Amino acid sequence: MFTISNCLRRTIELPKRSLNKQQKQVYILEALSNIHLQYPEKVTPLKPYDIVLLNQPASIQVESFDQSPLLLRVHHAVFDIPNPIAQYTVGDNALIHDFMNPLEDQSSMIVFTHLENEVCHAYLNVLEKLEEMTEQDPYVQFQGQKICGLLFTELLREHERKVSKLNSLFPDAKIKHASKDSQSGMIMKYISDHLQTVTQKEIAYHFSYQPNYFSRLCQDLFGLTFVELRTTIRLEYAKEQLSLTTKSIEVISEELGYKAVSNFHRNFKAYTGKTPAEYRASSQVNPL
C-alpha cells in the first residue's frame, strides 16, 4: 500500500505483477480528499472515503478539485485462490464475479460512494498495518486476503446505493451473459459516452438487441424508459458540471444534446427543484 499526499496533481502507475493461473488481482484506491480521477479518458469526482476498484494495471491521473493537497492511498491485492473468485471472497455476488473475471482481460473500474460510516476505511487501516509486517509470513498473507474479503462484503452490502454506475467502467461486450448490475453499468456507460446523440435504436444495435426488447430491458433494469434514463444521466452530468466547472449553462446544455436551452432549464428544474443557476450557486466548490 502506498499513500499520495502534499501535492495538487499526480500520475499514478499501478504496479504490475506476474500472476499464475490461480491468482487474481485488484487495485483498491481510497480517496481521503476531494479529487478528480482520470482513467482512461473519463474524469470521475471522488470525495473522502470513496473507493475505486480497478482490475488491471494502468496509469491514472489524480488532481485536487478544491485546491487542497491530495490525500489518497492505493492497495494492490493479489488472491491465491481458484476461480470463481467471488465464491471465496464475498459469496456468490455477480457484480464482483464479472469484475474479477473479465472476458479478454478487459479493464474494469467500480466506483463506490456513500461510505461515510468508515467501515471500509477501517479495513484498509488494518491492511496497511499488516503490510508493515513481513511479507514472507503466510499468516499475514492469509489475514490480508480475509480482510480484503470483508472489505468487499461491506462494499457490496446495499451495493445498489453505493455503486456509482454512471462513473464506473464496465466491459462493453458480452452484455447478454453479464449480471444485471453489470448490464445496467454497461448501458449507463454507453449513454454517458454518447450523451449528445444516442438513440434507443442506436444503443440497441450496439448491444445486438431489437429496439423493442431493449426498451423492456431498460424497464426491467432501471424502472425507466430509455428516454427517461437518458434524461436522468444527462441531468446528473449537468449537476456535476455545474458544481465542478465554470462552463456556461449554454455550453453544458449543448454538450448534453439539447437543441434549446429552455428545454434544458425546464428538465433540470423538474429534476432538481432548482434552475441551473440556482443549483450552481448552492453547490459549486472551487470550480475548474
Instruction: Report which of 88, 80, 106 is spatially closest to residue 17, judged by C-alpha positions.
Output: 80
Domain boundaries defined on the chain = 2-162, 175-283
Backbone angles phi, psi at 211, to 5 degrees: -55, -40
Instruction: Report which of 162, 155, 95, 100 is spatially closest to residue 123, judged by C-alpha positions.
Output: 155
CATH number, domain 2-162: 2.60.120
- Does residue 20 surpass a pLDDT of 70? yes
CA dist., res. 54 & res. 120, Å (int): 16
Q: Check residue 102 and give its pLDDT.
A: 62
Lowest mean pLDDT among 73-87, 213-227, 261-275: 73-87
Cis peptide before 276 (omega within 30 of 0): no
194-244 residue pLDDT tens:
888 999 999 999 988 999 999 999 999 889 999 999 999 999 889 888 987
- Does residue 181 surpass a pLDDT of 80? no
- Does residue 85 surpass a pLDDT of 60? no
Q: Check residue 133 and give its pLDDT.
A: 82
Q: How confident is the model at residue 86 (pLDDT cuts 50, 70, 90)?
A: very low
CATH number, domain 175-283: 1.10.10.60
